[in-house]
A and B are shown apart, each in its own frame.
Chain A
Amino acid sequence: MKKIDLLCVIDDDPIYTFLIKRIIDEAEVSLKSIFFKNGREALNYFTEHKDNSEKLPQLVLVDINMPILDGWQFMDGFATLATSFRNNIAVYISSSSTDEDDFQRASETPHVLELIPKPISSERLRELVVKLES
């Protein structure tokens, strides 16, 4: 399996961030990972590097409930930037929500591929990366 260069996780929960780091290491899917604590931080980064595809991730896991800008608000901002991106960026919502409305909303949000319930397993993460290659 080919590793991706950069994986991005947007989540405000430090424990989950700690855990997802371990999972990413265990899954061995990415050379490098970046972490943001909320949608605002992430969006700032994406805006800054929108023309620099080397600095942009290939895979994004974004939580829904976050302070400042939540997952949905991040997606709104992401959508306006998307035209500038030269490479494809796969975005997954990753949430512990079991609310049908959230699943529905995820399926209707542009650029979101799927809502993946937390916690994401290393196997699932590998699958996502494999899917990227195809």
Chain B
Amino acid sequence: MKPTPAPGASIAECGMACKTIHKHQQQSGLSDQVFTFFSELFNTNDWPPRWYCGTWSDFHGWLYIASDFLTWAAYFLIPVLLVRMIIKRKDFPFPKIAWLFVAFIVLCGTTHFIDAIIFWWPLYRLSALIRFLTAVVSMVTVYALHKILPSVLQLRSVKELEHEIRERRLVEEKLAASEFLLSEAGHVGRVGGWEFDNISNRFEWSKTAYEILESEAGQIDEMDDTVSLFIEPHREIMKQSLTNAYEQGIGWDLELQMITFKNQKKWVRYYGKPLFDQNGKLIKIRGVLMDIDKYKINELDLSKSVDTMARQNNQLKNFTHILSHNLRNHANNISLLSNFMDETTLDNNNSEIFQKIRTVSGGLNSTLDDLSSILKIRDGYLPSENLSFKEVTKKTLKVLEVALNASDATVDMHFEFDTILFPSVYLESIIMNLMSNGIKYKQTDIPLHVTLKTYLNEDQTKIFEYSDNGIGIDLDLHGEKIFGLYKTFHAHKDAHGVGLFLIKNQIESQGGKIEVISKPNQGTTFKITFNEKN
């Protein structure tokens, strides 16, 4: 309510009606003015309350006052909330600016408060001082805000942060998955990792590494401790490797035998790589420890038995050579001696015996010939040539012409492919042996019919197939024995038991194989699968 001035009280008046000459028109020195300003800060006598300054309607005045009070109230509450925020949230960005805001808002509020109370108490000096402070704080805030603006612009938005969190979570999930895989793989594959920090002198071993060492954390402290894990001569090798790592920066990757902490001998693959900083100072050595015991022992066993076998094989080879050589000497001598024998001087009895000796001598020589040709396949190396099935077959059939005619034989040829990379002597021998077997074991009452085929099987491997309508072989009875040496299955006068053994060896020496399909009286089929090298 507009106060009613007490009767007789002298109050300054202003407004349109004020005709009084006011003091501010009086000019005095600046220092006097400043002194008066501060000493009379709370003196209200120089002005009338605002109600009397000009003409205020009640509505206008109270609207002014109420608005100022409300603004003041709000301007005091906002800082309270701000302060609470700053104190509670330690990570509040730019807290110093926030404190400036608090000061700035409080001061703004205060100017409104004073503006309102000036309606009763004209504290114009105080008002000016508060406004000055507000101006200073505001300008400082403007400056500070300007300073931090670039950093504020760089602050990521919540959305961006959320996005980043999502991304990171995905990466973390992947990391966890691959870590799982790695540790599982390490566990199953018996591969452990280790790291030695040369500065802090600390060892880190992965779980699997501890399993391999059969130790627990803390049992290996020094790099030198690892050396003593190994047994001689591996300890010396490891010592040297470590020296190389320290002095020349060379890593190592060795298969060594160690004694675990539970006193077990174990083969490990031990890998290490030194790491240097920019100044060439060794900072770390990292590596892998792999349990290869099972494989190494197998490998050693295997190589030992391979060595033994190679040695035995060699002895056997020498033995057969010496044997066949010495036997041949004697056999040759017998056959030559019998050639120089004058049979006419022998009586009937001796002549008969002598004939038998000749037969035996012939048999001995042919056995030795067979043996030596087999030995040649076993250790000889024959170069492969590009051969034509048609030509080799033609050549062979020519040699067998007489015998084939005598058996009334017909030979069909279906060569889907013609060339093969194979030693020519062997291919001739294969076709020759199969054909002459066919002639030997034909059925007596029907003419011999042979089909020779070449084709590619489903693996695009070259196949040569021989089939006849001969007497066949009882495979249930003889099975794979038919390829054995001196195995004959027919009471035939020419049955040798060398041919099939020979060609099987010839085929296998070139990496191929031979199979047989046969039934008594239903003919025989031989299938040769080639293994063309290169």
Contacts and interface: CB of A to CB of B under 8 A. Distances in A.
Interface of A: 13, 15-16, 19, 22-23, 65, 95-100, 118-119
Contacts of A23: 336
Nearest to B334: A15
Given A97-B325, A100-B380, A119 B375 contact: no
21 contacts: A15-B333, A16-B329, A16-B332, A16-B333, A16-B336, A19-B336, A22-B340, A65-B325, A96-B325, A96-B328, A96-B329, A97-B325, A98-B325, A98-B375, A98-B376, A99-B321, A99-B325, A100-B379, A118-B328, A118-B329, A119-B332
Given A16-B329, A98-B372, A119 B321 contact: no
A97 B380 CA distance: 15
A93 to B, nearest CB: 13
Interface string B368-379: 000010011001
A56 to B, nearest CB: 28
A19 B375 contact: no
B350 to A, nearest CB: 20
Given A97-B325, A98-B328, A13 B333 contact: yes
Contacts of A118: 328-329, 332
Contact of B337 (A15, A96, A97, A98): A15
Contacts of B379: 100
Nearest to A98: B372
A134 to B, nearest CB: 28
Given A16-B333, A96-B325, A99-B321, 17 more contacts: A13-B329, A16-B336, A19-B333, A19-B336, A19-B337, A19-B340, A22-B340, A65-B325, A95-B325, A96-B329, A97-B321, A97-B328, A98-B325, A98-B328, A98-B372, A100-B376, A118-B328
A85 to B, nearest CB: 30
9 tightest A-B CB contacts, nearest first? A98-B372, A96-B328, A15-B333, A119-B332, A19-B336, A96-B329, A119-B336, A97-B325, A100-B380
A65 B327 CA distance: 13
Contacts of A97: 321, 325, 328
B338 to A, nearest CB: 11
Interface of B is mostly: helix
Contacts, number: 41
Nearest to B337: A19
Contact of A96 (B332, B340, B376, B380): B332
A100 B379 CA distance: 9
Contacts of B333: 13, 15-16, 19, 119
A97 B324 CA distance: 8
A97 B375 CA distance: 12
A22 B329 CA distance: 17
Contacts of A119: 332-333, 335-336
Interface string B297-309: 0000000000000
A64 to B, nearest CB: 9
What's the interface size class on B, roughly?
Answer: 10 to 19
A100 B340 CA distance: 30
Contacts of B376: 98, 100
Nearest to B340: A22
Contacts of B329: 13, 16, 96, 118
A98 B324 contact: yes
Contacts of A96: 325, 328-329, 332
Contacts of B335: 119
Contacts of B375: 98
Interface string B335-357: 11100100000000000000000
A123 to B, nearest CB: 13
A106 B138 CA distance: 115
A80 B116 CA distance: 139
B331 to A, nearest CB: 8
Nearest to A13: B329
Nearest to B329: A96
Contacts of B324: 98
A118 to B, nearest CB: 5
A49 B337 CA distance: 34
A65 B333 CA distance: 16
Interface centre among B321, B332, B335, B372, by most chain A C-beta atoms within 10 angstroms, is B332
B258 to A, nearest CB: 46
A77 B333 CA distance: 29
B37 to A, nearest CB: 128
Contacts of A22: 340
Contacts of A19: 333, 336-337, 340
B428 to A, nearest CB: 19
A100 B324 CA distance: 13
A26 to B, nearest CB: 9
Nearest to A15: B333
Contacts of A13: 329, 333
Nearest to B325: A97
A22 B336 CA distance: 10
A98 B378 CA distance: 13
B89 to A, nearest CB: 94
Contacts of B380: 100
A23 B336 CA distance: 10
Contacts of A65: 325
A65 B340 CA distance: 25
A118 B336 CA distance: 10
Interface string B355-393: 000000000000000001001100110000000000000
Nearest to B322: A65
Nearest to B368: A98
A24 B336 CA distance: 13
Interface centre among A19, A22, A23, A99, by most chain B C-beta atoms within 10 angstroms, is A99
A73 B380 CA distance: 25
A107 B325 CA distance: 19
B438 to A, nearest CB: 29
